[in-house]
């Protein structure tokens, strides 16, 4: 699957069987899948969810959405604090199939997936402390 590096945006090809071995970016050498949210979309989401042994925390957003932009730093900080989970962002405008498949009706929508299945989701931007509480409860 193709993963865009969250640090330098270089496109990296990651094999499903190597997905959980902490792959590093071929261009900048930083860890691809921990510490910073990765961008996923129609072409990569299902594959990544199937391959990831870690829970996946997803922020469904769009560039025109003010609350989404307000929430972005909260999501980034959580990703930096929790390298044990995979944080991903899905641009709903660029991924209409996925938005329809998951019935995303308002943004931001936050969802936690484990073993490829959604375990919890919530609509609306959460303040940092509430987001942490919600994550802890969803991943308990």
Cβ-based neighbour number of residue 70 at 10 Å: 12
Q: What phi-psi label fits residue 124: left (phi over 0), alpha (psi between -120 and 50 degrees) or beta? A: left
Closest approach of Cβ 2 to Zn ion, in Å?
Answer: 13
Please give the DSSP secondary-structure letter assigned to residue 26.
T
Q: Choose one: 27-35, 38-46, 78-86, 120-128; the region binding Zn ion (CB under 5 A).
A: 27-35
Q: Is 7 in the site for Zn ion (CB under 5 A)?
A: yes
Nearest to 51 by CA among 32, 36, 35: 32
- For Zn ion, give the closer residue by CB, 11 or 15: 11
Q: Is 28 in the site for Zn ion (CB under 5 A)?
A: yes
Sites of contact with Zn ion (CB under 5 A): 5, 7-8, 10, 25, 27-28
Q: Which residues are catalytic?
A: 65, 68
């Amino acid at each position: 699957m193709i993963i865009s590096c969250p640090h330098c945006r270089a496109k990296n090809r990651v094999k499903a069987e190597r997905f959980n071995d902490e792959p590093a970016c071929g261009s900048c050498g930083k860890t691809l899948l921990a510490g910073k949210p990765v961008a996923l979309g129609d072409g990569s989401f299902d594959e990544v969810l199937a391959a990831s042994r870690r829970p996946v925390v997803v922020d469904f957003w769009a560039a025109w959405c003010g609350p989404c932009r307000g929430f972005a730093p909260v999501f980034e900080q959580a990703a930096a604090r929790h390298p044990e989970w995979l944080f991903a962002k899905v641009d709903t405008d660029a991924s209409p199939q996925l938005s329809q498949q998951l019935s995303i009706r308002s943004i931001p929508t936050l969802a936690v997936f484990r073993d490829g299945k959604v375990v919890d989701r919530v609509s609306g931007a959460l303040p940092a402390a509430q987001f942490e509480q919600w994550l802890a409860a969803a991943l308990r």
